[in-house]
């Protein structure tokens, strides 16, 4: 029996809630009570901060056990309770579909790989890179908290020492890795490839299962109707997730493109493979470049905010007080940066999902051991699923509940960084190196030539 249920009540779950139930409850409540969605509620920021604290404690097994034993007051009196940070990789995973999309796209791993790479680089380099990723994530929950509660708006994560500036990044590039770091990076790369292979294997099995269900049901109208109803019900649940519509349409687009490529390759004896291959590689490059572009845009905005913070701190040191317009500017700037970070994360998510699902479709639809008839049958099933996904839309009411993070990203994307640092621009060589690295892991597979 737990000492008190305050944190469980905040999340709206029972004390027996599992980790998965906690994640679902946190994401649901975070969207519901986010300050940007409750501008007329002066307590919204405090509630959102309290929600983050509750989830931060309960998602940590050791802290949860202490909380169950001592309660909130007991933890505070023993200096155990405090700010509980949500892991950045977990946070972005929840924003972009979360657990419910796992059977379709697997577990998003790119941000986690970046975090591990930062750890390998060493205490100093790794800490700075990790701080940048973590601070960008924490901005989402801290943006309105500081402004709407009237706290010191200059105390943001935008401190100069916490930001990895363009100049610092260029300096880091010139530093050589040690032999140990190089070996650990190579080891991580191999682990990543193995994890990706397993992810593709599992997702291929999931897709094959859906194909078999469709193929079996297609012989009988009643069975086909039941399959369609079940699929539509699942998609209805997926669409209300954060970025749910975007993910469904992305998956649907990949499925339809790959299915058409397979069908056309079978009909043209592989000639159409040339055109589908060029199209896939072009899209891969565009998605990869989009990651660079959005990341640089976010970085430029952070650097602009740092400069503004320095000016404000100097003004405060001179005894000046912040005006209402300056406070409003701070809130808007922080919200803008959060949106740009989300845009960069979404570009990364699109690139990762596209690379993985291209491999899945290639394995399922272009198996050399299968005859042309079976390949076409599989492709037709994937085509139906993909087209069904592309037709899914939200009602106005559903859109209102799920679009908080999507709107922040859209607003930020529409606003170009006016103070982009010239040094932030990347050279052609930087782009080539980046695309070479990402394509090693997220290589686009091409349809096999029909025998």
Place of tokens 């309770």: 81
The C-alpha atoms of residue 91 and residue 27 are separated, in whole angstroms, by 9
| 211 vs 435: CA distance, rounded Å | 33
| Range of lowest pLDDT (102-111, 144-153, 243-252, 425-434) | 144-153
437 pLDDT band, cuts 50/70/90, is low
Structure tokens belonging to residue 58: 């309960």
Question: Could you report the per-residue pLDDT of 8-64, keeping only the tens digit for each?
Answer: 999 999 999 998 788 778 877 877 776 666 666 777 778 878 888 888 888 888 888
What mean pLDDT is predicted for residues 238-265? 92
CATH 1.10.287.110 segments of the chain: 5-85
| Residue 349 burial by Cβ neighbours in a 10 Å radius (0-12, 13-18, 19+) | buried
Average pLDDT over residues 336-353: 80
Does 451 have pLDDT greater than 90? Answer: no
The fold of the 5-85 domain, in CATH, is Helix Hairpins (1.10.287)
State the average pLDDT for the chain.
Answer: 73
| Distance between CA atoms of residues 361 and 373, nearest Å | 17
Choose the weakest-confidence range: 105-109, 205-209, 282-286, 329-333: 282-286
Q: What is the spatial distance between Cα 279 and Cα 293, in angstroms, rounded to a whole number?
A: 21
Tell me: the pLDDT tens digits for 277-313? 545 555 555 555 555 566 666 666 667 767 777 777 7
Using one digit for the tens of pLDDT, what is the confidence trace for 115-153? Answer: 677 677 654 444 444 444 444 445 444 443 443 344 444
pLDDT of the residue at 282: 53
* Residue at token pair 């008839």: 373
pTM here? 0.65
How wide is the angle at C-alpha 221 spanned by C-alphas 215 and 224, nearest 5°? 45
Give the residue-averaged pLDDT of 370-390. 96
pLDDT of residue 346: 83
Query: Among 65-79, 132-146, 321-335, which stretch is predicted with the lowest mean pLDDT?
Result: 132-146
């Amino acid at each position: 029996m737990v000492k008190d249920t305050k944190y469980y009540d905040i999340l709206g779950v029972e004390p027996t809630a599992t980790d998965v139930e906690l994640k679902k409850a946190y994401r649901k409540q975070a969207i519901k009570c986010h300050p940007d969605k409750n501008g007329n509620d002066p307590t919204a920021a405090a509630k959102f901060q309290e929600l983050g604290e509750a989830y931060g404690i309960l998602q940590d097994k050791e802290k949860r056990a202490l909380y169950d034993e001592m309660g909130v007051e007991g933890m505070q009196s023993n200096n155990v309770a405090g700010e509980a940070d949500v892991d950045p990789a977990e946070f972005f995973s929840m924003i972009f579909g979360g657990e419910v999309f796992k059977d379709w796209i697997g577990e998003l791993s790119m941000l986690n790989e970046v975090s591990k790479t930062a750890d390998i680089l060493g205490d100093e380099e790794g800490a700075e890179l990790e701080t940048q990723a973590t601070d960008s994530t924490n901005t989402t929950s801290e943006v309105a908290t500081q402004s709407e509660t009237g706290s010191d708006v200059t105390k943001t994560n935008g401190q100069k020492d916490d930001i990895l500036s363009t100049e610092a990044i260029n300096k880091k590039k010139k530093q050589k890795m040690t032999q140990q770091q190089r070996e650990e990076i190579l080891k991580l790369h191999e682990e990543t490839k193995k994890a990706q292979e397993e992810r593709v294997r599992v997702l291929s099995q999931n897709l094959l299962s859906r194909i078999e269900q469709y193929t079996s049901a297609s012989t009988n109208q009643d069975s086909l109707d039941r399959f369609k109803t079940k699929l539509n019900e699942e998609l209805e649940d997926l669409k209300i997730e954060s970025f749910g519509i975007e993910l469904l349409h992305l998956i649907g687009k990949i499925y339809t493109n790959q299915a058409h490529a397979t069908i056309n390759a079978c009909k043209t004896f592989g000639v159409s493979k040339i055109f589908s291959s060029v199209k896939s590689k072009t899209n891969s490059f565009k998605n990869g470049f989009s990651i660079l572009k959005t990341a640089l845009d976010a970085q430029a905005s952070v650097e602009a905010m740092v400069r503004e913070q320095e000016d404000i701190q100097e003004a405060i040191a001179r005894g000046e007080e912040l005006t209402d317009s300056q406070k409003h500017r701070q809130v808007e700037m922080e919200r803008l940066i959060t949106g740009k970070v989300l845009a960069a994360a979404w570009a990364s998510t699109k690139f990762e999902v596209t690379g993985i699902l291209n491999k899945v479709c290639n394995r399922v639809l272009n198996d050399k051991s299968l005859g042309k008839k079976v390949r076409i049958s599989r492709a037709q099933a994937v085509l139906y699923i993909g087209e069904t996904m592309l037709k899914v839309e939200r009602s106005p009411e559903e859109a209102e509940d799920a679009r908080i993070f999507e709107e922040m990203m859209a607003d930020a994307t529409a606003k170009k960084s006016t103070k982009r640092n010239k040094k932030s621009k990347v050279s052609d060589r930087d782009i080539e190196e980046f695309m070479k690295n990402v394509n090693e892991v997220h290589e686009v597979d091409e349809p096999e030539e029909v025998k």
